[in-house]
Amino acid sequence: MEKFVQIEAVGQTFDTKKGKFVALRDVDLSIRQGEFIALIGHSGCGKSTLLNLIAGLTRPTDGALICDGREIAGPGPERGVVFQNHSLLPWLTCFDNVYLAVERVFAAKEGKAKLKQRTHDALALVGLTHAETKFPHEISGGMKQRVGIARALSMQPKVLLMDEPFGALDALTRAKLQDELMKICDATQATVVMVTHDVDEAVLLSDRIVMMTNGPAATIGEILSVDLPRPRNRLALANDPKYIAARAAVLEFLYEKQAHKEVLAA
């Protein structure tokens, strides 16, 4: 399917105490099935706003969003979300956190044993079989984020939405999880939209990088296709001319074309 997720002339205006605030305007984007899209831009450019619109957590003021031929009218399990701060429920074990999502999607057609198997499989996919019975406060930040990913993947979503999923992690853990995510995406052929502010992460992971202009009234500035073969290896890519060119293009967009006014003044 050529246009799996369609974003058509979407605008988002918030009512604030100081009057109307235009966060997004005229956003048009089509995402193919199995594509990995990175949304990148300076903070406050509305990239999380766009992700929330695709998730259905907020409704657009203008335009329409369509997923798999249906208009997005609200949140739904066919669009799995991984939150920035993992958002695991602290009173449930890792297993139960994932099971909650599995149960919601599959309980109507499958028995308990099958649901449990799905939960085990999802946790195994992110390499956390040994931590199933642990509570979120007993595991590290990287492990929590992996449980969050397992929860989103366990629902077999059509689209995986990730809001700076590795932003709060240290560099080594982040690299490890990026590699794991690439493997999972190769294995599941997932369609992914990921918000990030990390240029290397965007180039390493994505098929296309959507670069947003600065807010207010942000929109898509440029779209860069990252034409690198998969599976990708971060060490091999470090000296790859295509990788370096893609990285330079994103950096140029962020720090020259969309440099913050404060930066220019300074």
Verify binding: residue 11, other proteins, rule CB under 8 A.
no
Between CA 210 and CA 218, with CA 212 as vertex, the angle to 5 degrees is 140
Measured between alpha carbons, how far is 236 from 197 in angstroms, rounded to an integer?
Answer: 23
Site for other proteins in 88-127 (CB under 8 A): 89-92, 100-101, 104
Verify binding: residue 140, other proteins, rule CB under 8 A.
no
Nearer Cβ to other proteins (75/111): 75
Binding mask 34-63 for other proteins (x = CB under 8 A): ---------------------x-x------
Nearer Cβ to other proteins (93/213): 93
Nearer Cβ to other proteins (85/188): 85
Nearer Cβ to other proteins (57/115): 57
Nearer Cβ to other proteins (6/52): 52
Verify binding: residue 229, other proteins, rule CB under 8 A.
no
Give min distance, CB of 91 to other proteins, in A. 4
The answer to whether residues 94 and 136 touch, using CB atoms and an 8 Å cutoff, is yes
Site for other proteins in 149-178 (CB under 8 A): 155
The answer to whether residues 231 and 205 touch, using CB atoms and an 8 Å cutoff, is no
Is 74 buried (19+), middle (13-18) or exposed (0-12) by CB count in 10 A?
A: exposed
Q: What are phi and psi of 194, to 5 degrees?
A: -125, 130
Half-sphere exposure of 132 (CA within 13 A, CB side): 14
